[in-house]
Structure 1
Amino acid sequence: MTDYTCDTLLTNALLFDGLGGPPTRGGLAIRGDRIAATGDVSDWQANETIDLDGLCLAPGFIDVHTHDDLAVLNDSAMEPKVTQGVTSVIVGNCGISLAPYQNPVELVPPLGLLGTVDDYRFGSFAAYRSAVDAASVAVNVAALAGHGTLRAMTLEDTEKPASEGQIAVMRVLLEEALRAGALGLSTGLAYPVARHAPTEEVVALSRTLAEFPGALYVTHMRDERDRVEEAVGETIAIGRSAGVPVVISHHKCIGRQNYGRSVNTLAMIDKALLQQDIAMDVYPYEASSTVLLPELTRHAERILVIDSAAHPEFNGHELSDVAEKMGCDQEDAARRLAPARGIYFQMSPEDINRIMQHPRTMIGSDGIPGPQAHPRLWGTFPRVLGRYVREDGVLVLEEAIRKMTSLPAQIFGLARRGRLQEGFFADLVAFDAETVLDLADYDKPDRASVGIEHVFVNGVAVLSNGTVTSARGGRFVARGEA
């Protein structure tokens, strides 16, 4: 006899399966942490029934590119994410992860993006996983092991290539991380901590991934500017040589002289896709944000200074104005402001649209938590739904949802997530397609979006009627674990 009882019943919804199919009318039953039924749920009885009154109901959004490594330990509510409909975050991107790294004396850029030397307190990846489990966070957390962190942990001088012995040590550390549930290896080859790592070093480490089915090579490439095609070629070659799937992080073409070159990079990716597995992510903004480095100031149209430790009085100021007040050029001003972060206006809308429309592109915020943030930390997913789907028609709604749900779940090996399907985890978002919109901007980057009404993580309501609850449903999610 079929049991038609459940904990929560969601009725009168427009259901999006996450796979890109057309929506259907119906409801969904939640029992424990799983979806018990979808579609016609008229026979079901529940302890709580929520009439969604025509709202869109989709799998919870997966933010594939975050720097929430520390935030998930210190901010269990994760308001910037749940108010966007995000139910899972992937941390450890751009080659920087909190683990494995313990008791550093100083942090080589960009490791300071995640926190201070005291925050790097995990000698093993397993220790970090245990800390996430103990934190009782609102969202699911999956993690990559950072190549830059491995280098900082192993090398006395990160301005040199790793020796064979040092590579062997890093491989042991990487193997420990993968056994503890890491999704793969990330690199940030454009950054000081890793820019001296030759391709051969990365290939040697990536071959370790091939021993763990589904483990990924995820990269902030060596160059996103004048040599972007060369960097894409290196990335493709690393994946092919190591025999592992590749994800290109926040794919972009920086600098006015490079606008339009995504035509070439995407053609390279399409050709490689005939022989190997490649995907990418993108964020829906023309400005990037990362550590403020002198060499990064050369291609941006303008730069906003944020979070300068040396000169906090210049936070929120244009770097050009700061340089004028200091009586120097922008590169020297960046040196004087360090350590600091910057918001760099340097991409073309046409490239963003073209990359976003590619069938192998996912959505990732690349948000960096902090008191002064890029608006993408709070607004990425509603911005795609409100501006890129409803207003500009860059994507249709069901395809945008696929890029936020089933596609990342499939690529990153998040088992039984990313779909509205019986037996899958009840990670869900209900939103109003007519009103959903990001409100965060560069003046007020911490404003919550509108139109996201309900969010469930593993069946637990973490957002109800647009309000963050005190409930916590998240857990650490390891590669392939259901």
Structure 2
Amino acid sequence: MYDIVIKNGKIISGCGNPWYKADIGIIGDTISHIGNISEKDANEIVDAEDLIVCPGFIDAHSHGDLRILGEPTASEKLMQGVTTEINGQCGIGIAPIKNEDKENWRNYIYGIFGEYPEIHFNWNTLEQYLKEVEKKQPSINAGYLVTFGAARLMVMGFDSREPNDDEIKKIVQIIDESMKSGAFGMSLGMIYVPTVFATNRELIETCKIVAENNGVVGIHMRNEGNDLINSVQEVINLTKETGVSFQISHLKAGGKNNWHKSIDKVIKMIELAREDGFDITFDQYPYDSCSTMLRQVLPPWVLDGGNEKMKARISDKDIRVKVNRQINGESPVDGLTSKAGWDNYANLGGWDGILITSVKSKNSQKCLGKTIKQLSDEMNKEPIDVVCDLLIKEDGAVGMAVYMMCEDDVKTILKHELGMVGTDGLYGGKPHPRLYGTFPKILGKYVRQENLISLTTAIRKITSYPAQRYGIRDRGMILQGMKADITIFDENKIIDNSTFNDPFHYPDGIKYVLVNGKIEVKNNKIVNKGNGNVLLKK
């Protein structure tokens, strides 16, 4: 007797094969049988007539580290068919962490993770954090990368200095221990404090220990705009030096000067590296705007030492003048230089292309959904003063979106076989629509409406491919013996509905979502929850 039988659906296995007709029998959390199954052998029947039955979607790049503790239902993922997310991305995590760093770090990461005051950060190691997630009984599965930034913060704080031998050993040890606790690898955020200050030696030694543990390194590269090619070369060099597998996060080319040319070049670089035996792949979100923290508008030297030192610097009018000159291309300024390859968002998107997406205080809510240029005009202030005043007022806790990519490049990346998909969704305020809409947009816009890629190719990109990449052996495919993470959708109706004006809008077309053999979404409504697991590297 099967607990659940899914009948009459068109099964897309996730392996890239065409759909086929069969019934799926589920016992407990496992796909027990695929074939013809009598209704009398089922305790519950799901009729999938005229619907696609496929593996649950895997969010290859997620920032749900804090969200899954504060809102473990993770409805923004569940309602778009996601059954597993990979957290701990971009070198920015919430574990491991020292007690004395918790308040400062929490302010720093607000623009990424949002604010959940009821979560008290009552952990220090990644292992302790994962146990906290298990206690919350999340509705989706979650796997983790240990973040280099958190490990360096544990040892060296926010300082930009070069570590000594003992400090490097301690950072490597933290990465090693975290992987042995179940992390699938490590992530680097080359634009974020403190990773932006890392020496090449630190990167090499930590990548080596990840390779020894057979993990993958996800990297938000040092530059995604004018220095994109050199940033990809840095990844290739690290791969050659250490032998580690690299996952380039949210591949893009920012800035009009880089559209229609840089992406083809860097993809060719990656292809050639793979021909030489170096394992490099990438992911993307299907939008022409990015999203991160507003502080990233500032050069890295302004961020040195943490939040309080940043606020002290940008309170100085003379410093603001120097920062503005550097943003306008007049670097170096009085000996103040930034790390090579700094992503100058104000240059790449323009002040009229930078949108405020999250703030912390009620008094600043009026800024949400407005560009820096709009706020500058309204307040009769220079754009750099708008940015600095807002960061000071909000204690650095401001999120932004930047319109800096083009649709043609988005399509070029999506068509390539080496690419997979992640939401890169951020929390707090009025978030980027990718948080609620990424996967339905792929299937609705780029598959059905534009025929850019086939349905089977799209399903592979969002199921078996990320499972393979992160070493999740029992999910991502509809096969006997696999865990029963299953998404059932109407291929003729699935579409995203989230916008910047109304980001909290669920998609259409998701009929059922099963997590570990339990129905959590039925007819576009959450009917059950709490069936997800923390996934550990084996």
Using the size of structure 2 for normalisation, the TM-score is 0.85
Map 1:18-57 onto structure 2 (within 5 A): 18-42=14-38, 45-57=41-53
1:171 is aligned with what amino acid?
V
Alpha-carbon contact 2:250-2:282 (below 8 Å) kept: yes
In the alignment, structure 1 residue 273 sits paired with structure 2 residue 274: yes
Mapped partners of 1:379, 1:157: distance in 2: 34
Residue equivalent to 1:111: 109
Alpha-carbon contact 1:375-1:440 (below 8 Å) kept: yes
Counting strand residues as a fraction of each chain, which structure ranks higher?
1
- What CA deviation, in whole Å up to 9, does each residue of 1:280-302 have, x standing for no partner? 10001111110013242221151
In the alignment, structure 1 residue 458 sits paired with structure 2 residue 511: no
Map 1:61-460 onto structure 2 (within 5 A): 61-103=57-99, 104=101, 105-107=103-105, 111-112=109-110, 113-115=112-114, 119-213=120-214, 215-260=215-260, 261-274=262-275, 275-293=277-295, 294-295=297-298, 296-301=345-350, 302-309=353-360, 311-338=364-391, 339=396, 340-460=398-518
Range moving further from structure 2, 463-472 or 42-51? 42-51
Counting helix residues as a fraction of each chain, which structure ranks higher?
2
**Deviation of 1:192 (Å):** 3.0
1:55 is aligned with what amino acid?
L
Tell me the number of residue pairs that the alignment of Structure 1 and Structure 2 aligns: 475
Structure 2: 5+ residue runs without aligned partners?
299-344
- What CA deviation, in whole Å up to 9, does each residue of 1:186-212 have, x standing for no partner? 010012322121222111111111221
Larger Rg: 2
Structure 1: 5+ residue runs without aligned partners?
none
Residue equivalent to 2:301: none
- What CA deviation, in whole Å up to 9, does each residue of 1:305-331 have, x standing for no partner? 122236333122121111223333333
Mapped partners of 1:36, 1:160: distance in 2: 55
Alpha-carbon contact 1:20-1:399 (below 8 Å) kept: yes
Identity percentage of aligned residues = 30
Range moving further from structure 2, 107-116 or 365-374? 107-116
Mapped partners of 1:371, 1:469: distance in 2: 27
Alpha-carbon contact 1:110-1:193 (below 8 Å) kept: no
- What CA deviation, in whole Å up to 9, does each residue of 1:397-433 have, x standing for no partner? 0000000000000010011110000000000000000
Mapped partners of 1:385, 1:17: distance in 2: 16
- What CA deviation, in whole Å up to 9, does each residue of 1:205-263 have, x standing for no partner? 111112212x0111000000100010001011112211111000000000111112100
**Deviation of 1:43 (Å):** 7.5
The residue matched to 1:137 in structure 2 has which SS? Answer: coil
The residue matched to 2:458 in structure 1 has which SS? Answer: helix
Mapped partners of 1:192, 1:129: distance in 2: 24
Mapped partners of 1:166, 1:44: distance in 2: 64
The residue matched to 1:251 in structure 2 has which SS? Answer: coil
The residue matched to 1:372 in structure 2 has which SS? Answer: coil
Range moving further from structure 2, 49-58 or 108-117? 108-117
**Deviation of 1:370 (Å):** 2.1
Mapped partners of 2:348, 2:379: distance in 1: 21
- What CA deviation, in whole Å up to 9, does each residue of 1:36-70 have, x standing for no partner? 11233348711101111121000000001111001
- What CA deviation, in whole Å up to 9, does each residue of 1:430-451 have, x standing for no partner? 0000000000011100100000
2:70 is aligned with what amino acid?
N
Using the size of structure 1 for normalisation, the TM-score is 0.95
Range moving further from structure 2, 42-51 or 417-426? 42-51
Alpha-carbon contact 1:415-1:479 (below 8 Å) kept: no
Alpha-carbon contact 2:114-2:427 (below 8 Å) kept: no
Alpha carbons of structure 1 residues 366 and 73: separation in structure 2 relative to 1, 3 Å: same
**Deviation of 1:120 (Å):** 4.2
**Deviation of 1:357 (Å):** 1.2
Alpha-carbon contact 1:63-1:86 (below 8 Å) kept: yes
**Deviation of 1:110 (Å):** 5.2
Mapped partners of 1:428, 1:128: distance in 2: 27
Residue equivalent to 1:11: 7
The residue matched to 1:187 in structure 2 has which SS? Answer: strand
Alpha-carbon contact 1:35-1:426 (below 8 Å) kept: yes
Alpha carbons of structure 1 residues 433 and 367: separation in structure 2 relative to 1, 3 Å: same
**Deviation of 1:109 (Å):** 8.1
| RMSD, aligned CA | 1.7
Mapped partners of 1:322, 1:404: distance in 2: 38
